[in-house]
Structure 1
Amino acid sequence: MTTLDRRKFLKVAGAGGAATAVAACDQPTAPAVHEAMPNLSWRMTSSFPKSLDTIYGAAETFARVVREMTDGRFQIQVFAGGELVGGLQAADSVTDGTVEMAHTASYYYWGKDPTFAIPTCIPFGLNCRMQNAWMYDGGGIDLVNKFYAGYNIYGLPGGNTGAQMGGWFRREINAAEDWKGLKIRIAGFGGAILSRLGAVPQQIAGGDIYPALEKGTIDAAEWVGPYDDEKLGFHRVARYYYYPGWWEGQAMLHFFINLEKWNSLPKAYQAIIRAAAKTADTTMMAGYDMQNPGAIRRLARAGAILRPFSEEVLDACFKASNDAYAELTANNANFKTIYEAMTAVRAEGYLWFQLSEQTMDTYMMIQQRKDAL
């Protein structure tokens, strides 16, 4: 074979070998990906109405991300509260397998066990940054899922409101005695604390609050904050808008997934669900932070009267909360385990935040009041 022939042979052989290698690599890859990504269709019930684009929207964000990350192989259809089951029956529908998953607030189900309240929030608990630190980097997700497993549920963080307002009142709250006899719509464990102060808590789904407040069935109502409260029109039926929502220094929502369905998912789909939930979690908080400033201005112009809870009122609520926690930790092992993990994060978090966040924020707020920003 001449030198020229040898070169031609090597060139052709090299090209053919490369093509063969590419073909060999290509052949098993596509089927493996397809096997790992089966076609699935799930239903998710929300506890919230479609009109609340921030809260209900977090479920839609989650479903969209799952769909896009699986190239449409995993479809999750979102239903508003009441379309499949009532907003406050979402957890039960996941436990019994009526739906594969729900987007809800864990504290709605504290009547089953007060421990359900902690993953969302409890009075005088964590702020949003601390809650995220605990959940994502402090073992919180795994800890609360040991509890949820008893209800055939696997849970993941699914959005946050940040610190909430204290709600809308038909009359002023100037002293701790003013809680006595007050009928207030309030979710979660906060109602149990207010009942110790003489209030009469009512747990009413979001879409039913306005008519109850308008008709005088209740005297006050808390929901979330300016952006959502404006949409629900509470300022038209109650004048006084109190702050802060001491029972919700943040409020973390959750995606509840039927535990058997979760365990049956391919690992790739479990990873995608975790990523989608985290996207929904951060997107929801960002949405509130962008929308609340404008909403509070509009509400004030519309006649809302802003009132802070006095230190006397807050002290009475703080004491009542701690009394309740002492009783629960003495009698409920699940509550004790998760509560003590949360309060350890709280003690360290506020030690740090008073040096960094508070000092910086306080100075910048002074500049804002001077119209210097």
Structure 2
Amino acid sequence: MPKKTVNQDQLNKARRSEAGTPAPAPHTVSRRTLIRGAGAIGAAGLVAACGQGGSTPDGQEQGGATAVARRKRALTMVTAWPKNFPGIGTGVERLARRIADLSDGRLTVRVYAAGELVGALGGFDAVSQGKADMYHAAEYYWQGKSPAFNFFAAVPMGMTASEMAAWIRFGGGQELWDELAAPFNVKPMMAGNTGVQMGGWFAREISSPKDFQGLRMRMPGLGGEVMARLGATPVTKQGGEIFQAMAQGNLDATEWIGPWNDLAFGFHTIVKNYYYPGIHEPGTTLSLGINKTLWEDLSPQDRAIIQSAADAENDIMYAEFNANNARALETLVKDHDVTLRRFDNAILRRLAEISAEVLAEAAARDEMTGRVFNSFQAARAGGMRWGEVAEEAFTSARRLADL
């Protein structure tokens, strides 16, 4: 009679669980306890007790049963950001560390900054084709694939960070995003937010809508289309190229993100007119895109680890931007003689009118974009109604108290 190994009962329980059959549970064992006892029961028993599938790398059998081993993966992530750039570049590194920490080192992620493995705008194709496992970027970079991708990053006069999270998590946005990206072999998810961005840096004052005519301005996505209809020439450049283009006079204006990142890029050393609000990106969602074939091959536990890490980074990055933008704006104004200017209401009204036209035309291009647009607009309307009696009403009241 074959000798029964110490982990046979645990293996049986794991197999019954994977097959959908409840296993007897005489007592509950915590994951921490199992880890402490790993030396006694062996790696195979530990994994089986945690309900994971898999096999040993060499396929060998131990004690008459196939050993169930925890599978290690070394993943690659390409990004659209300069290496270790404040907020987005450092946030990506933090995301990679969190995935490793949550998986006890089974999942490791090597981060490649823009240009190290692929160009800043090449992440989507690299992941789609399996040349990289993940990308971190803003979805409006992929508008050439479908205009619908814009809505999962930022669109002119769109939604704030909290409104975007509400839509994607609880308003049907994630389901539409998954449907949109699936034909490209990509699984997307939120993994960061910059909050409301600034209107941009301008070589000259902007007093009316006519002042945009002839401007060469860095602005990607549908925001660039809005600028074009005002008479400007929109230019898409990756972050690392903007400063040189401004310094050489190849750009008359640029938006990037906000005070924290703009200070780091040194735009204030070239121009001094800094405008707000940035209607083109009111709450820019940054995304983690994963090769869909890889995603489906991951265990449920590993998918949950990556999703949880991305969710955490989405919230942490947003908080970090808010904290550092406040400090950086004060530095720009007080220490670097930057002139903070608000766009005139006439400009904002014209921007809103053109934005509505641009979004409606994008929605009419194909059925998928139309469905995304309709869902987005419904969530935006609900967010605006609630915001009027929630954050908006409160901040107005708080401002009165400070008078």
Shorter-chain TM-score above 0.5: yes
Structure 2 residue aligned with 1:30: 46
Say which is worse superposed, 357-366 or 70-79, in terms of deviation: 357-366
How many Å apart are 1:73 and its aligned residue?
A: 0.9
Residue 79 of structure 1 and its aligned partner are, at CA, apart by 1.0
**Alignment pair present for 1:304 and 2:320:** no
Q: Which residue of structure 1 lines up, in the alignment, with residue 389 of structure 2?
A: 355
Deviation for aligned residue 1:289: 1.2
Q: Deviations over 1:99-155 (max 9, x none)?
A: 001101100111222111110010001111111111112221121110011211110
| Contact map agreement 1:120 1:251 (CA 8 A) in 2 | yes
Q: Aligned partner of 1:236: which letter?
A: T
Are 2:365 and 1:331 equivalent residues in the alignment? Answer: yes
- What does 1:44-63 correspond to in 2, within 5 Å? 44-63=77-96
Shift of 1:53: 2.4
8 Å Cα contact 2:218/2:251 also seen in 1: yes
1:197-212 equivalent positions in 2, closer than 5 A: 197-212=230-245
What number of residue pairs does the alignment pair up?
348
* Contact 1:58–1:158 (Cα < 8 Å) also in 2: no
The residue type equivalent to 2:355 in the other structure is S
Q: Percent same amino acid among aligned pairs?
A: 33
1:318 alignment partner in structure 2: 352
1:226 aligns with 2:242: no
Cα RMSD, aligned residues only: 1.8
Q: Does 1:96 align with 2:129?
A: yes
Matched, 1:342 2:393: no
Residue 110 (structure 2) pairs with residue 77 (structure 1): yes
CA deviation after TM superposition for structure 1 residue 208, in Å: 0.8
Deviation at residue 219 of structure 1 after TM alignment: 0.2
Deviates more, 1:322-331 or 1:351-360: 322-331
**AA partner of residue 303 (structure 1):** D
The Cα shift of 1:26 comes to 5.3
Partner of 2:3: none
- Rounded Cα–Cα distance in structure 2 between residues aligned with 1:107 and 1:88: 10
Q: What does 1:100-249 align with in structure 2 at a 5 Å threshold?
A: 100-249=133-282
SS in 2 for 1:57: helix
Contact 1:160 1:252 in 2 (8 A): yes
- For residue 251 of structure 1, the aligned residue among 271, 284, 289 is 284
Q: Is the 8 A contact 1:58 1:281 kept in 2?
A: no
Please state how far the C-alpha of 1:162 moved relative to its aligned partner. Answer: 0.5
The SS at the match of 2:156 is coil
Partner of 1:41: 74
Structure 1: which 5+ residue stretches go unaligned? 1-17
Q: Distance in 1 between matches of 2:215 and 2:84?
A: 28
Find out whether 1:285 has 2:318 as its counterpart.
yes
The runs of at least 4 aligned residues of structure 1 exceeding 6 Å deviation read none
Aligned-partner SS, 2:122: helix
1:320 is paired with a residue whose SS is: helix
TM-score, length basis structure 1:
0.90
* 3-state secondary structure, aligned to 1:88: coil
Aligned to 1:364: 398
What's the secondary structure of 2:152's corresponding residue? coil
| 1:59 partner SS | helix
Cα 1:315–1:68 shift into 2, 3 Å: same
- For 1:226 and 1:51, the matched residues in 2 are separated by 17
One-letter code of the match for 2:284?
A
Residue 367 (structure 1) shift: 4.2
Q: Please give the alpha-carbon distance, in whole angstroms, between the structure 2 residues aligned to 1:111 and 1:31.
A: 44
Q: Aligned equivalents of 1:102 and 1:31: distance in 2?
A: 29
Q: Name the structure with the higher helix share.
A: 1
3-state SS of paired residue (1:216) = coil
The answer (yes or no) to whether the contact 2:172–2:375 under 8 Å persists in 1 is no
Secondary structure in 1 aligned to 2:191? strand
* Alpha-carbon offset, residue 245 of structure 1: 0.5
Deviations 1:346-367 (A, max 9, x none): 1111111111211211222344
